[in-house]
A and B are shown apart, each in its own frame.
Chain A
Amino acid sequence: MTAQEYAFTVLAVVGSIGAVAVVTARNVVHAALYLVVTLGAVGGAYLVLAAEFVAWVQILIYVGAIVILFLFGLMLTKAPIGREALDNQQRGVAAFVAIGVLVGLVFLINDAFDLTTAQRMPAFDGDTASVGSAIFSGYVLPFEAVSFLLLAALIGAVVLARRDDSS
């Protein structure tokens, strides 16, 4: 195994444990904090894959903004504690489906790429300059669509969450 594979494996194990903790935690605030661990590990995995801009955007947007939004959402709604309050009665079926999805996906990945004998990918340096010129040359139209979507989401969130005085 190469050094990158060791680093990626460590990050993947930390991220997977965090992900399982997010969906099994009995305290909603703990779940949000485990989400920080998982998102940080995924950001580190992007760095190992040499996708530096995606990694820092992941840290900034996910850990810096989205988790804070989640914590505000938990603060504004009464957050109960305990397994019965947070989980429904279909935990067994849900675990069965999730393990089925995992086994199916690993089987398909093994079928397509062969887990043990797959070639190592040579390092691909997707630095920020080339990502930026790709976004603003070939992908300008989707970029504008995303900015329009963000504007619509901003207006929609304000309209939804604001208290209606007339009624």
Chain B
Amino acid sequence: MIRLPLVLVFSAVLFSAGVYGVLARRNAVLVLMSIELMLNAVTVNLVGFSSLWRNLTGQVFGLFIIAVAAAEVGIGLAIVILIFRNRETINVDEVNLLKW
């Protein structure tokens, strides 16, 4: 027995912390960590609504989000290590080759 807004507010706090991290951090690995926080916020919402509607779809898609997050971290860290090998830095504001 739990009130849904409690779950949603927890998710909102996690999401806002992730937004702050993505905007304020320079280090690419820390930006990826903040993205993980936002993905977790979405999964918390899905599980909460799954509990509200008594339907397993939310939990199933929560599992899919965890799998996609694992794939995203693998590719993201591969790219970060590649950038570090070429540029000797992983600060996102110094990697501006595609910026116009």
Interface residues of B in 30-56 (CB under 8 A from A): 30, 32-34, 36-37, 40, 43-44, 47-48, 50-52, 54, 56
Q: Are A110 and B5 in contact (CB under 8 A)?
A: yes
B26 touching A2, Cβ below 8 Å: no
Q: A105 to chain B: which residues have CB within 8 Å?
A: 8, 12, 15-16
Indicate if B97 sits at the interface (CB-CB under 8 A): no
The residue from B7, B30, B67, B84 contacting A8, defined by CB atoms under 8 A apart: B7
Q: How far is the CB of A47 from chain B (nearest CB, A)?
A: 10
A78 and B91 CA atoms in complex are apart in Å by 11
Collect the chain A residues with CB atoms within 8 Å of residue B70's CB: 61, 65-66, 150, 153
Whether A42 contacts B44 by the Cβ 8 Å rule is yes
**In the docked arrangement, what's the CA distance between A117 and B11, Å?**
19
A140 to B17, CA, bound (A): 34
Residues of A within 8 A of B56 (CB): 126, 130-131, 134
Chain B interface, >50% SS class: helix
Is B63 touching A53 in the complex (CB atoms < 8 A)?
yes
CA distance A146 to B57 in the complex (A): 15
Number of interface residues of A (CB under 8 A): 89
Tell me the bound Cα distance from A115 to B59 in angstroms. 24
Per-position contact with B for A82-104: 1 when CB-CB < 8 Å, else 0?
00011110110111011101100
Closest 3 pairs between A and B when the two form their complex, measured CB to CB: A94-B23, A23-B21, A153-B71
Residues of B bordering A, CB below 8 Å = 1-10, 12-21, 23-27, 29-30, 32-34, 36-37, 40, 43-44, 47-48, 50-52, 54, 56-57, 59-64, 66-75, 77-82, 84, 90, 93
Chain A contact residues, CB within 8 Å of chain B: 2, 4-5, 8-9, 12, 15-16, 19-20, 22-23, 28, 31-32, 35, 38-39, 42, 45-46, 48-51, 53-54, 57-58, 61-62, 65-66, 69-70, 72-74, 76-80, 85-88, 90-91, 93-95, 97-99, 101-102, 105-106, 109-110, 113-115, 118-124, 126, 130-131, 134-135, 139, 142-143, 146, 149-150, 152-154, 156-157, 160-161
Selected A-B contacts with CB under 8 Å, 26 pairs: A8-B6, A16-B10, A19-B37, A22-B21, A28-B30, A35-B37, A54-B63, A58-B43, A69-B73, A73-B32, A73-B77, A77-B29, A85-B26, A87-B25, A88-B24, A90-B24, A94-B20, A94-B23, A102-B16, A105-B8, A119-B3, A121-B3, A124-B51, A153-B74, A157-B77, A160-B82
